């Protein structure tokens, strides 16, 4: 029998916010029926209007506040909330760190796993940290604009200051935008699937200050391409690489498979933990270098290497963790599914004169099974999976190899909890506290390092 929700659409109610969801929305309960409200913080009393009712939950918008949380930040730019760039900007930074620690603790507690979660490691300046931008290019009111989509839509809101991005990147996007206007290059139109320029991607080395501009085009060539490229590198002295990426498909995927260097090198360089890395247009590189150093250092420290160990790095990307581990281990094996990332990883090993690393292109789960059959016996396995977490087969292969330690770098607490429970069933236990690291200030995302040891 379907129970009737205790609220109706457009109804106005007085509520007290009890909690925040993992997306950073306020939660109010009406007869145990949860309502999710944007821009509302725990402890606040407010009048809300119900906007949508599902069978087990609903959404509402804040109308007026009776009381405000002491953790509320007053001067916020509503554009950042509308675009979802900084969904937590209205929450004071110390409270954001507590929220992230609590988020992990809560999920483990729901799974009945007893664990300590340490306070989140934060940043001195929790803004302007991103070293990479991917900004859509669209025509708005007859003019080519760069900005960000309004949440849950494809309406572009023009923006020049992205708040959580390196200001040099913001300035570069404006320069490129102005040149695109000057050369009258047509912006991509999603509805008609016409036009030329879809996205501008900019990467900038935190230490090197080398800059890469990637122009994502629907067409094989951009009109006035040579002049445009010439003007970009004249206007932006830090640019050492200009790349064309062709994406002719009608898709939400940002980049296509064809990449051509139009100026300079196909990569830029940056350093991390004293190692040098070449980063190409399509390779994965952490977007918050300051916090990545803390995160990776933590993983290395927790691996407890003495120089005698064999280590496997599943999801190695361009080799950032593998090479940092190689300085302290006997042999490191890395695997990643992206061929360009493995190309970069091999180049990066040579750049840093590290010969005790082997990289393979494969799905982590199939390569782990192969290494296990080949009789490779790692002392430590490091995993840094995408948001969907680990495949069950990867956990099984890891457990069969029987490493003394598994160091799990996670970007999604929900899949971390699920995977830890699987490891526990196969004879591994959590060692010490879980350490959250704030890689993405002003957003609800949290990274963490968990150590599992063989019982």
What whole-number distance in Å separates Cα of residue 409 and Cα of residue 399?
A: 17
Please identify which of the residues 275, 411, 437, 446 carries the catalytic annotation.
Answer: 411
What whole-number distance in Å separates Cα of residue 407 and Cα of residue 391?
A: 16
Sign of dihedral through CA atoms 64, 66, 69, 73? positive
Distance spanning both ends of the chain, measured CA to CA: 47
Number of other residues whose CB lies within 10 A of the CB of residue 176:
25
Cβ distance 430 to 115 under 8 Å? Answer: yes
Lookup result for tokens 């300046």: 125
What whole-number distance in Å separates Cα of residue 452 and Cα of residue 404?
A: 8
Number of other residues whose CB lies within 10 A of the CB of residue 149:
15
Within 8 A by CB and 6+ apart from 98, the residues are 119, 120
What whole-number distance in Å separates Cα of residue 152 and Cα of residue 24?
A: 16
Give the HSE-up count for residue 118: Cα atoms under 13 Å, Cβ half-sphere: 17
The values of phi and psi at residue 446, to 5°, are: -140, 135
Q: Is 316 a catalytic residue?
A: no
Q: In what order do the strands lie in the sheet with 19-20?
A: 12-16, 45-53, 58-65, 33-37, 26-30, 19-20
Report helix angle 167-182 to 225-235, nearest 10: 150
Cβ distance 242 to 271 under 8 Å? Answer: no
Q: Which residues are catalytic?
A: 411
């Amino acid at each position: 029998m379907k129970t009737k929700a205790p609220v109706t659409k457009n109804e106005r109610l007085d509520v007290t916010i009890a909690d925040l969801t993992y997306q950073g929305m306020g939660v109010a309960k009406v007869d145990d029926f949860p309502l999710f409200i944007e821009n509302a913080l725990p402890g606040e009393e407010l009048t809300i209007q119900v906007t949508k009712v599902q069978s087990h939950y609903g959404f509402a918008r804040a109308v007026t506040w009776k009381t405000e949380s002491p953790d509320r930040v007053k001067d916020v730019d509503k554009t950042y909330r509308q675009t979802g760039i900084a969904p937590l900007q209205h929450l004071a930074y110390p409270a954001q760190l507590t929220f992230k620690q609590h988020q992990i603790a809560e999920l483990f507690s729901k799974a009945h796993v007893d664990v300590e979660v340490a306070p989140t490691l934060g940043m001195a300046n929790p803004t302007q940290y991103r070293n990479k931008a991917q900004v859509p290019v669209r025509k708005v009111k007859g003019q080519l604009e760069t900005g960000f989509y309004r949440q849950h839509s494809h309406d572009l809101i023009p923006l020049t200051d992205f708040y959580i991005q390196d200001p040099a990147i913001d300035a570069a996007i404006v320069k490129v935008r102005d040149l695109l206007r000057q050369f009258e290059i047509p912006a991509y139109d999603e509805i008609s699937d016409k036009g030329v320029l879809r996205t501008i991607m900019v990467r900038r080395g935190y230490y090197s200050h080398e800059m890469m501009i990637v122009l994502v085009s629907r067409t094989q060539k951009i009109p006035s391409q040579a002049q445009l490229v010439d003007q970009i590198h004249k206007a932006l002295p830090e640019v050492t690489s200009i790349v064309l990426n062709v994406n002719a498909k009608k898709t939400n995927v940002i980049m296509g498979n064809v990449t051509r260097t139009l100026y300079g090198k196909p990569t830029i360089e940056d350093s991390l933990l004293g190692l040098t890395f070449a980063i190409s247009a399509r390779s994965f590189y952490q977007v918050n270098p300051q916090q990545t150093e803390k995160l990776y250092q933590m993983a290395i420290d927790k691996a407890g290497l003495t120089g005698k160990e064999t280590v496997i790095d599943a999801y190695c990307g361009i080799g950032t963790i593998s090479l940092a581990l190689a300085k302290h281990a006997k042999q490191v094996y890395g695997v990643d599914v992206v061929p360009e990332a493995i190309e970069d990883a091999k180049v990066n090993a040579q750049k840093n004169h590290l010969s005790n690393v082997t990289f393979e292109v494969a799905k982590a789960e199939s390569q782990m099974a192969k290494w296990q059959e080949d009789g490779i016996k790692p002392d430590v396995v490091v995993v840094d999976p995408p948001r969907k977490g680990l495949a069950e087969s990867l956990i099984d292969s890891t457990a069969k190899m029987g490493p003394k330690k598994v160091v799990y770098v996670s970007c999604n607490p929900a899949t971390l909890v699920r995977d830890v429970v699987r490891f526990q069933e196969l004879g591994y236990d959590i060692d010490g506290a879980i350490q959250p690291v704030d890689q993405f200030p002003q957003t609800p995302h949290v990274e963490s390092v968990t150590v599992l040891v063989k019982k």
